Homo-oligomer: A and B are copies of this chain.
Amino acid sequence: MAWFARSKQEPVVDEEVVEEPRLPEPPALNEAGLRSVADHTAYLLSLVDPLRPFGMTLLEGWNQVVCEDIDSMISVPAFSTAKVDGYAVRSSDLTEDDGRLVETLDVVDAVDDRLPIGAALPVQPGDVLPAGANAVLPGTFATVEEGRATLIEKVEAGEYVRAAGEHLALGTRLLSQGDILTERAIGLLAGAGIDKAMVRPRPRVVVISSGDNLVEPGVELAPGESADANSYMIAAAARAVGATVFRVAVHTNDRETIKQVITDQLIRADLVISATGGSREDYEAMVAVMKEIGLVDEANVAMSPGSTQTFGLVGDEQVPMLMLPGNPVSAYVTFHVFAKPLLRQLMGADTGPRPGRAIATGTLRSNEGQLHLLRGQTVSDQKVTHVTQVTSPYALGQLAESNVLIVMDEHVELVRPGEAVKVWFLDGE
């Protein structure tokens, strides 16, 4: 049927179509059928908005991202003051004719509002100049008799004056949107008369620990059980990024229970991070719950370890939720590759990792087409940082021995001893 042909049919009443809510189209897969780490990161970041800024006192807002341009509220110094003993004057009153000073000035005791034209007010160093005065005539530049000052030498506007705003003019731009409220930025604002700033708050992270076979550390283990380590490690890691962290353990795979706990926690979560035990059942229970309460993206990412990635927007408020793999090394690497940028996105901060470089002490191997994150330990002297791969078989021990992730990019297959390699430092930045 041609589009504009007149139809003789009865008009068709469209049924109301309720669109199934879903996540935006995910990025295309590469030739190996995997999503690249860069694509996956960009996709997750596109699903999360920075938190709304709050007005906070300077110390509350410390180390957070400023969300406004901030200008000085005062001049520093706030007032123009005399630098020497003498007389506050208007420089325009001090005229010359043929090189001779012709004016005398009335020496006044006090000034009501503005310095009258032709008047001079005695001042000492540090005294605030009255309105209208723009220079100080040193005492030695005039002779005074019967309340009249006869000039010996004149001064120009601004001479012998410490001018208001000399250090900082009212309205000077101090910080711009996106700046970090460092300790020194706090000093700058306070000195400029500013006691509050609009900053993005610290994200609130709920770390949910689930899995039938996990128990709290310190509890005696029954056969098949292990002590929950991942959720503690990840809670501390989220705190290190600057988040306020709530760790909630629900050591079960019962889907109703998990669902109830997550739903209860959403009220205080800007990001939910799931940490589970290592079993398939743990993983499946959590994914099933995520799908029940939200929109879920499951991806095989070109990354090792941590290729299985699951992310969702859950609950009525579509709170972002990142599920970590069960293996401690995979979970930890996933945190640093994906959770950290998400947290920094929530904080309104730069989301890119800031890699360092180190010299490999041994041969490092990777597979082309895959971001490979090896665990490493660095030793630095004044001149150079060396890095050695850590390969201890016990996952948590391997992490504890490491202080960097060695970043083998997609195009890197081999790094030889003595060659430089990219590293992410794990403690502080």
Binding site for B on A (CB under 8 A): 58-59, 62-63, 73-74, 76-79, 81, 126, 128, 167-168, 174, 180, 182-196, 216-219, 221, 223-230, 232-237, 239-240, 245, 247, 328, 332, 355, 357, 382-383, 393-397, 399-400, 402, 426-429
Q: List, sorted by A's number, 11 A–B pairs whose CB atoms are closer than 8 Å.
A: A76-B394, A77-B226, A78-B225, A79-B224, A182-B236, A182-B400, A183-B234, A183-B236, A187-B399, A188-B229, A196-B218
A124 to B99, CA, bound (A): 113
Assess the B328–A228 pair: CB atoms within 8 A: no
Contacts of A225 in B (CB 8 A): 78
B428 touches A236 (CB 8 A): no
The answer to whether B328 and A191 have CB atoms under 8 Å apart is: yes
Asked if B232 and A58 sit within 8 Å, CB to CB, the answer is: yes
A239 to B, closest residue via Cβ: B62
Assembled-state Cα–Cα distance A58/B227 (Å) = 13
List the B residue with the shortest CB-CB distance to A230.
B187
A235 touches B400 (CB 8 A): no
Known contacts A182-B400, A183-B426, A191-B227; 16 additional CB pairs below 8 A are A58-B232, A59-B232, A62-B239, A74-B221, A182-B426, A183-B237, A184-B396, A186-B236, A187-B230, A187-B233, A187-B332, A188-B397, A188-B400, A192-B217, A195-B217, A357-B383
CB pair A236–B192 under 8 Å, yes or no, is no
Residues from chain B with Cβ under 8 Å of A247 in the complex: 59
Asked whether B400 lies within 8 Å of A185 as measured between CB atoms, the reply is: yes
- CB contacts (< 8 Å) of A400 on chain B: these are 174, 182, 184-185, 187-188
Query: Is the beta-carbon distance between A190 and B232 smaller than 8 angstroms?
Result: yes
Complex Cα distance, B226 from A74, in Å, reads 10
Contact across chains for B428 and A429 when beta carbons are under 8 A apart: yes
- Complex: A289 Cα to B227 Cα, angstroms: 54
A224 & B167 in contact (Cβ 8 Å cutoff): no
Residue of B nearest to A331 (CB): B187
Give the shortest distance, in Å, between A426 (CB) and chain B (any CB): 7
| Residue contact B193 to A217, C-beta cutoff 8 Å | yes
Q: How far is the CA of A167 from the CA of B328 in the complex (A)?
A: 13
How many angstroms from the CA of A350 to the CA of B69 in the assembled complex? 39
State A58–B235 Cα separation when bound (angstroms): 10
- B233 contacts A74, C-beta separation under 8 Å: no
Q: How far is the CA of A235 from the CA of B192 in the complex (A)?
A: 17
State which of B73, B187, B393 has its C-beta within 8 Å of the C-beta of A167.
Answer: B393
Contacts of A382 in B (CB 8 A): 355, 357
